[in-house]
Amino acid sequence: MGDKNMDNANNIATIMNNAGFDVVSVRMDLSFRESILQFISKGQEYGDITMLINGAGVSPS
């Protein structure tokens, strides 16, 4: 679970873990390429990435 706000990431990860999923919270900011690459690397530690759900509300500024 990636979010630039760790409180949000931790809260959602807790809910999903309690529902039976294996979720790890990671700080990730979509406005920084390096943050995205680190998020991908963290995901690859668990195996191949076969699906991604993007729920970010990003708008141009």
Contact 30, 36 (CB under 8 A): yes
Helix then strand then coil, % of the chain, to nearest 5:
40, 5, 50
Q: Is residue 60 part of a domain?
A: no
pTM (two decimals): 0.75
pLDDT digits (tens, 9 = 90+) for 26-36: 999 988 999 99
Identity of the amino acid at 8 = N
Q: Is residue 32 part of a domain?
A: yes
Position 61 confidence tier, pLDDT thresholds 50, 70, 90: low
Q: Residue 10 phi/psi, 5° resolution?
A: -65, -40
Note the pLDDT of residue 41.
94
Can you give the residue range of the structural domain that contains 11?
2-44
Q: Is residue 24 part of a domain?
A: yes
Q: Is residue 15 part of a domain?
A: yes
Q: Domain tally for the chain? A: 1
Q: Is residue 51 part of a domain?
A: no
